[in-house]
Amino acid sequence: MTEDIYTDYLIIGSGVAGLRAAIEMSKSGKVLVVTKDLPTESSTEYAQGGVAVALSDEDEIGIHYEDTIKAGDGLCDEVAVKILVSEGPERIIELINWGAEFDKEGTKLSFTLEGAHSRKRILHAHGDSTGREIERVLINKVSIIENVKKASFTMAIDLIVDENRCYGAFLLKDKEIIRCFAKATLLATGGAGQVYSRTTNPRVITGDGMAMAFRAGAYLKDMEFVQFHPTALFKKNAPQFLLSEAMRGEGAILRNIHGEAFMKNYHPLGDLAPRDIVSRAIISEMVKNNSSYVYLDLTHLDENFLKKRFPTIYNTCLNFKVNIAHEMVPVSPAAHYIMGGVETNNFGETNIKGLFAAGEVACTGVHGANRLASNSLLEGLVFGFRAAQGAIRYVEGFESFSFRKDLYNKNRIQYLDSFEMDTIKNKLREIMWNKVGVIRCSESLGVAKSIIMPFYERFSSSIFLDPLSLELKNMITVGLLITESAYARKNSVGAHYRTDYKNKLSNWEKHIVIKRKNNGIEIS
C-alpha cells in the first residue's frame, strides 16, 4: 500500500456530471477528480444528438416538463423533473459563456427534434458531436482552477465506509492500492452499458460506481429500467456505433428488411415515438421477418446536408463501407442508458453520509421508467451542480475525521487469468442481452439469475489488482442487480417489458429498491 492521499472532495469520474461538480466544489475546498482512463473517455464524449433545453422561441419549460413526464411512463419524480427543466436553461447559458459552441442558424441557436419531444428543443454541436464539445469546455474550465487536481488511469475500486459514513475510496494505480481520504465523495462513474453484449456505451462504462455503492451498503433504485437505443449499426466486423435519434428527427425512416416503413403501425408518432416503443417495434419486425436487423433509410435526404449535419456518423459509416446517403443502414437496438442507479435526493445525497452521486450512476427519479432523449447531458449539468452544493453543505458542517485502516486483507487478493476472464465476461454479456434485454419474462430472467449468481458468489468479495478483473466483478454485480430487479417487477412499465405481465398491473407505481444484506441481496 503506497502513501495515503487526503482531499476535501473526491470525485470519481470525469464526464459531464463529475466535471460540472468539480467546478462548483472547488469554490469550497480542494478537489481530486480520478478517472480510470483518459479524462475524456466517457459516454459524455460520445454523445451525439444533443442536449434538450427549453430555450427556443417556440418552447416552454412547462412543455419540456410534460414531455419528460410522459416519456417516464408514470414513474418520474415530479420535483426532480421540475428542477431539471427549470434549472437547465441557466446551466446551458453558463456553458455557452464558458465557450461552448452550439450550432446556429444565422445568429440564433439551432434546435432539432428527437423522439417524444413535442417541440424542437435539442441543441447540438458540430452536427453530431455535442458531447465532445461539452466535455472540451468543462475540461478546459477545470484545468484553469487551481483547487482541482486530476488523476487519470486511476481506478476507484471500493469506497472507504465505516458505520454508514464514507471517507473516500481505495484507488488502483499501476497495480498499487492507494487510500484516498476525502470529506465528501461523489460517484460520477456513468452507467453500465458494457454489461450487455450489444451496447452503444464506451469500454469504460462497466457499472463500477453502482457496484461499489452496493458493496458499501447504498440503496439502488429502479435498476430494471434499461433503455435500449433503437438504432445502433448492425454490421459484421463493425462497432455497434450509434446512429443518432436526431437522424429520425431530420426525416430518416425505419424500414423492415422488405423495405416497408413500419413505425406508424405501432405508434401515432411513427418514427419519433418514445425509444422503448421503437425498440420493441424493431424487435417485433425482426422476429416477424426472421432477420437480425432493420434498416434506417436516409437515402431521400440530400448528401451534402447529411455530411454537414451528421459528419461523424457519415464518416464512420463510410469507414465501414456504408454510404448513408446512397444505401439504407442495417441497425438494431443496443443497451444505451440505465434509468436506475444509486438512489439520491435532489442534492445528490445517498443513504450513506458523505457519499454523493450524480449523472447516469445516480437515480434521482428524473427519468422514471424511460428517459426522454437528450435529457441526460442536461441531467449531468443540473444534478452535478446540485450534488456539489449538497457536498459543500455536508463538508462545511463537518467536525471530526476518522477512518478505517483494516479493509484490505491480502488474503482476499485474487488473480484471474485472462482466458477465464474473457470467457466469463462474454457469457455474462450474452446472457444479459438474450435474457434480460428488450423483452423479458420470468423464465428468461430465472435462467439469467441461475447463471450469474454463481459468478457473483465466487467473485463478489475478491479484490483484484488488474482493472479488467475488477470491472468484470462490477459487471457481474450490476448484471445481477438488473436481473433481480427485473424479476421483482411483475409489470410492464416504460423500458421494462415482460411478456408474462404485459400491462401495468396492480402496484405498478412502486419503485424497486435493492440493497446488500449481509452477503446477499434484499429487495423492497
Q: Which sequence positions are flagged as catalytic?
A: 275
Interatomic CA distance for residues 73 and 68, integer angstroms: 9
Interatomic CA distance for residues 239 and 51, integer angstroms: 24
Residues 365-394 close enough to bind ligand SIN by CB under 6 A: 373-374, 376
CB of 446 to ligand SIN, least distance (A): 31
Interatomic CA distance for residues 324 and 334, integer angstroms: 20
Task: Choose from ligand FAD, ligand SIN, none: what does 205 bind? Cβ within 5-8 Å by kind.
Answer: ligand FAD
Say if residues 185 and 168 touch (Cβ distance below 8 Å): yes
What residues have CB less than 8 Å from 300, skipping those under 6 apart? 251, 253
Burial class (CB in 10 A: 0-12, 13-18, 19+), 400: exposed
- Containing H/E element for 463? strand 463-464
Out of 13, 39, 49, 340, the residue judged to bind ligand SIN by CB under 6 A: 49
Task: Choose from ligand SIN, ligand FAD, none: what does 223 bind? Cβ within 5-8 Å by kind.
Answer: none
Residues 116-155 close enough to bind ligand FAD by CB under 6 A: 130-131, 155
Task: Choose from ligand SIN, ligand FAD, none: what does 456 bind? Cβ within 5-8 Å by kind.
Answer: none
CB of 412 to ligand SIN, least distance (A): 38
Nearer to ligand SIN, 50 or 365 (CB): 50
Q: Residue 68, interface with ligand SIN (CB under 6 A)? A: no
Interatomic CA distance for residues 250 and 229, integer angstroms: 17
CB of 361 to ligand FAD, least distance (A): 6
Q: Residue 483, interface with ligand SIN (CB under 6 A)? A: no
CB atoms within 10 A of CB 224: 28
Interatomic CA distance for residues 53 and 472, integer angstroms: 36
Out of 23, 25, 178, 188, the residue judged to bind ligand FAD by CB under 6 A: 188
What residues have CB less than 8 Å from 355, skipping those under 6 apart? 159, 161, 166, 184, 185, 187, 213, 216, 218
Say if residues 212 and 159 touch (Cβ distance below 8 Å): yes
Task: Choose from ligand SIN, ligand FAD, none: what does 112 bind? Cβ within 5-8 Å by kind.
Answer: none
Q: How many residues line the site for ligand SIN (CB under 6 A)?
A: 9
Residues 328-347 close enough to bind ligand SIN by CB under 6 A: 336
Q: Residue 35, interface with ligand FAD (CB under 6 A)? A: yes
Sketch the per residue contact string, 218 through 257, with ligand FAD: x for CB under 6 A, - otherwise. ------------------------x---------------
Out of 156, 317, 357, 416, the residue judged to bind ligand FAD by CB under 6 A: 156
Out of 7, 10, 13, 385, the residue judged to bind ligand FAD by CB under 6 A: 13
The CA-to-CA distance between both ends of the chain, in Å, stands at: 38
Nearer to ligand FAD, 205 or 254 (CB): 205
Q: Residue 15, interface with ligand FAD (CB under 6 A)? A: yes
- Concatenating the DSSP letter of every residue in 329-395 gives EEEEEEEEEES-EEE--TT-B-SSBTEEE-GGGEE-SSSTTSPPTT-HHHHHHHHHHHHHHHHHHHH
Q: Is the sign of the CA dihedral 219, 224, 227, 228 positive or negative? A: positive
Q: Residue 193, interface with ligand SIN (CB under 6 A)? A: no
Burial class (CB in 10 A: 0-12, 13-18, 19+), 359: buried
- Residue 326 identity: H
- Applying CB under 6 A, the residues found at the interface with ligand FAD are 12-18, 34-37, 41-44, 46-51, 130-131, 155-156, 188-190, 200-201, 204-205, 208-209, 242, 337, 359-361, 374-377, 380
Which residues of this chain interact with ligand SIN, rule CB under 6 A? 48-49, 244-246, 336, 373-374, 376
